[in-house]
């Protein structure tokens, strides 16, 4: 293959400089801790709770985005309605908006006196300054990942296969479950993984709405920043290393799943 040496060399160099070397630094820094210290930091109640909040809520938010994102994609791709292009553009807003702006906007909206916060408070639901707020912010920033990954695949999906399924006697529901979703599965899984990864790493928008109560609504990235500001660098890197490893394992697993789904549909 011509160009293999060149492109492979560039790929490895670039990935090393941009990703691998900084991450290696992270691991090196955490080596300053003895295994016992490392374990103590990780098993402290505050760290465990922060990790639980971050990963748990990120996964829940990614699942919500998967469902809602799929519905939005379906509407955008399959139907023609006035304002479709505008809605299509709005999907990208969470990509572009500075996350701090998003955080402030969501906080104002869901605060007890806010437009949405007030009616919810009347129902006894508190969003701002609780884990629910974190969940909302994570949904907000994750939605474009699902939409943009699934959209091109759905556009490529020939509507004729739905007609074929229908004429073979499949109900609408059977067509969705047996024909459409399996065809979209690889893209849906990629979208899920991306939305999840984004939500785990999200900092800017979450800290405004979270309330940041230790053990309740404190996310792991914030805990890292707090440790840094206390000059406890090793503590910070220890938490960072754990986040890195867990994220990597989860994304790798989703990737394998996606690969498996993809292989069931050999390339055309």
Give min distance, CB of 240 to another protein, in A. Answer: 39
In this structure, what token pair is assigned to residue 213?
A: 């109560």
Out of 52, 178, 232, 256, the residue judged to bind another protein by CB under 8 A = 178
Give the angle 101-107-147 at the CA atoms, nearest 5°.
65
Give min distance, CB of 147 to another protein, in A. Answer: 22
Q: Does 92 bind another protein (CB under 8 A)?
A: no
Q: Is the dihedral of CA 117, 123, 124, 125 positive or negative?
A: negative
Q: Does 182 bind another protein (CB under 8 A)?
A: yes
Q: Does 183 bind another protein (CB under 8 A)?
A: yes
Query: Considering only residues 24-83, where is the footprint of another protein by CB under 8 A?
Result: none
What is the per-residue DSSP string for 115-150?
TTHHHHHHTT---TTSHHHHHHHHHHHHHHHHHHHH
Contact 179, 13 (CB under 8 A): no
- Annotate 246-255 with b (16+ C-beta within 10 A) or e (fewer): ebeebeeebe
Query: Is 2 or 266 the residue whose CB approaches another protein more closely?
Result: 266
Taking residues 138 to 177 in sequence order and writing x for each that binds another protein by CB under 8 A, - otherwise, the string is --------------------x-xx-xxxxxxxxx--x---
Residues that bind another protein (CB under 8 A): 158, 160-161, 163-171, 174, 178-179, 182-183, 185, 264-268
């Amino acid at each position: 293959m011509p160009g293999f040496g060149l492109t492979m060399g560039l790929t490895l160099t670039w990935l090393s400089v941009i990703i691998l070397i900084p991450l290696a630094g992270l691991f090196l820094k955490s080596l300053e801790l003895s295994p016992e210290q490392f374990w103590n930091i990780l098993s402290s109640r505050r760290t465990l709770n922060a990790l639980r909040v971050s990963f748990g809520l990120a996964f829940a938010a990614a699942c919500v985005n998967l469902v809602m994102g799929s519905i939005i994609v379906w509407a955008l791709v399959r139907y023609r309605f006035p304002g479709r292009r505008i809605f299509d553009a709005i999907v990208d807003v969470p990509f572009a908006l500075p996350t701090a702006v998003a955080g402030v906007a969501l906080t104002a909206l869901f605060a007890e006196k806010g437009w949405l916060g007030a009616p919810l408070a009347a129902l006894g639901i508190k969003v701002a300054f609780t884990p629910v707020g974190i969940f909302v912010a994570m949904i907000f920033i994750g939605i474009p990942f699902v939409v943009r990954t699934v959209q091109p695949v759905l556009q490529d999906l020939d509507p004729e296969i739905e007609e074929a399924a229908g004429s073979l006697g499949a109900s609408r529901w059977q067509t969705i479950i047996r024909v459409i979703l399996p065809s979209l599965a690889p893209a849906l899984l990629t979208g899920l993984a991306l939305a999840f990864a984004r939500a785990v790493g999200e900092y800017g928008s979450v800290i405004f709405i979270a309330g940041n109560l230790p053990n309740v609504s404190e996310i792991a990235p914030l805990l890292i920043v707090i440790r840094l500001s206390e000059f406890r660098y090793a503590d910070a890197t220890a938490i960072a290393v754990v986040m890195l490893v867990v994220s990597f394992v989860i994304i790798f697993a989703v990737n394998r799943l996606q690969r498996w789904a993809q292989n069931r549909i050999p390339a055309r």
